[in-house]
Amino acid sequence: MSKRALGFLLAFFVTASLLYSSIFTAFCESEFSGDATSLGDTYTSEEALTGVDGEEYPSGSESSLEAVTAAPSTVSLAQYPVLTVSAISNYFGRIDAEYNEFTREITVTYLLKSSRRLLSVYWTLSYDSELLTVDPKKNTAATICPMMKDDAIMSIDSKKGVICFSANDLRMFDYTTSEAVFVKIVFDTAQLTHKDSEITKVDLSVSDLIVSEPNPQTGESFDGKEVALVANSKAKKTDVQVSKYTTITPSTFVEPSANPATPEQKLTTSPPTTVKPSPATQPTKPQQEKEKKTDSDTLLYTGTWYVALLILVILLICSTILFIMRKRDIYNN
């Protein structure tokens, strides 16, 4: 065989190799590119929608990921209560609560039940006006004491932090059936940060509290049946059965756990938040694209199907030329 024939034969094998590589590459792209795309775009309820780079991807057509509502929580950096409030009184019980920096409103309520009806009452309530404020729109006679709203005389001194209240009625106020609101105040808190640690009190001082029994004929107070439960700010011992207690907005401060997930952080109550699930066992979209790219890089890339067709045509031409030249050599010899 002549050198020319060997050269064409070598060219034939090189061209055949390129053709095989091109056809195999085009086949792999057509078969697996669609699957890789579908894997990258379709997520089940257990897969993540957030990639490693923080970019969010929409859910695919096979199943939609529903948002998960986390338990109400707000991260607070405070190691101690930002605000501690003690509701005290010379007649009612004491109650304390601790709050974080996100607490904006605190309600203190004194409730009362008596075996006799209330004839007259006079009390004052003091508070720290730098830490707590009383909004007159939130605190009216109807909200402070619904039972006595039509006969109440009330004043609010926001600068001094003092509320004065008095009411009396011969037909009396019925606190005999159930425990009812005696005093209810809604406070707005000052703008505090996690670095603050304030302690304050709300002090209800009952100056006079008189009860009595109604006259069956007139419905008004019986003369001589009046009993002072409190006189000159001092509670009296009587045979009148009284039930009284104090409530306050529940504490929002929670002490840091022994092994917190994040240092100097704790969970406290706040409006619910909506979060997306963390990545599960399935790889995220950027990882899948990276894997797809790595696999395709191991193949010899020569082009798409039309490039393979062009190489095939060239191969046929070369084969024809090789065949003609071989015949010519045989004829010459």
pLDDT, average across residues 189-216 = 92
On whether the CB atoms of residues 239 and 113 are closer than 8 A, the answer is no
User: What length is written for the chain?
Assistant: 333
| Phi-psi category of residue 61: left, alpha or beta, with phi > 0 → left and psi -120 to 50 → alpha | alpha
In the chain, pLDDT over 70 holds for what percent of residues? 59
Beta bridge partners of 107: 186
As a whole-number percent, the residues of the chain with pLDDT over 90 amount to: 46
SS (H, E, C) 151-208: CEEEEEECCCCEEEEEEEEEEEECCCCCCEEEEEEEEEECCCCCCCCEEEEEEEEEEE
pLDDT at 164 over 70: yes
Lowest mean pLDDT among 1-15, 86-100, 164-178, 279-293: 279-293
Mean pLDDT of the region 318-326: 74
pLDDT in the model for residue 166: 96
Average pLDDT over residues 101-124: 96
Q: How confident is the model at residue 281 (pLDDT cuts 50, 70, 90)?
A: very low
What's phi and psi for 64, nearest 5 deg?
Answer: -100, 140
Radius of gyration of the chain (CA): 43
pLDDT of 152 strictly over 80: yes
Cβ-based neighbours of 71, under 8 Å, separated by 6 or more: 272
pLDDT category at 74 given cuts 50, 70, 90 is low
CA-to-CA distance for 24 and 41, rounded, in angstroms? Answer: 26
Q: Are 294 and 282 in contact (CB under 8 A)?
A: no
- The answer on pLDDT for 83 being more than 90 is yes
Which token pair is 146?
């619904």
User: What's the whole-number mean pLDDT along residues 258-279?
Assistant: 44
Q: Are strands 74-76 and 83-89 parallel, antiparallel or unpaired?
A: unpaired
Q: Which among 66-70, 74-78, 222-226 has the top mean pLDDT?
A: 222-226
292, 81 Cβ separation under 8 angstroms: no
Pairing of strands 117-126, 132-134: unpaired
Q: Which pair of structure tokens corresponds to residue 190? A: 């000052």
Where are the alpha helices (H) located in 98-223, listed in sequence order? 141-144
Strands (E), 40-173: 68-69, 74-76, 83-89, 95-99, 105-114, 117-126, 132-134, 152-157, 162-173
| DSSP structure class, residue 175 | -
Residue 217's pLDDT band (cuts 50, 70, 90): confident
The residues near 35 (Cβ < 8 Å, ≥ 6 apart) are none
Mean pLDDT score of the chain, rounded to an integer?
75
> Taking 80 as the threshold, does the pLDDT of residue 123 lie above it?
yes
- Give the Å distances, CA to CA, from 196 to 37, 52, 84, 131, 153: 53, 38, 11, 11, 37
Q: Which pLDDT value is given to residue 295? A: 46
H helices present in the chain, as ranges: 3-41, 141-144, 285-297, 305-332
Which whole number is the average pLDDT over 302-320?
69
Residue 59, Cβ density class (10 Å: 0-12 exposed, 13-18 middle, ≥19 buried): middle
**Pairing mode, if any, of strands 117-126 and 105-114?**
unpaired
pLDDT of residue 319: 74
pLDDT in tens, 35-56: 443 333 333 333 333 343 444 4
Does the pLDDT of residue 25 top 70, yes or no? no
Nearest to 241 by CA among 143, 157, 116: 116
Assess whether pLDDT exceeds 60 at residue 3: no
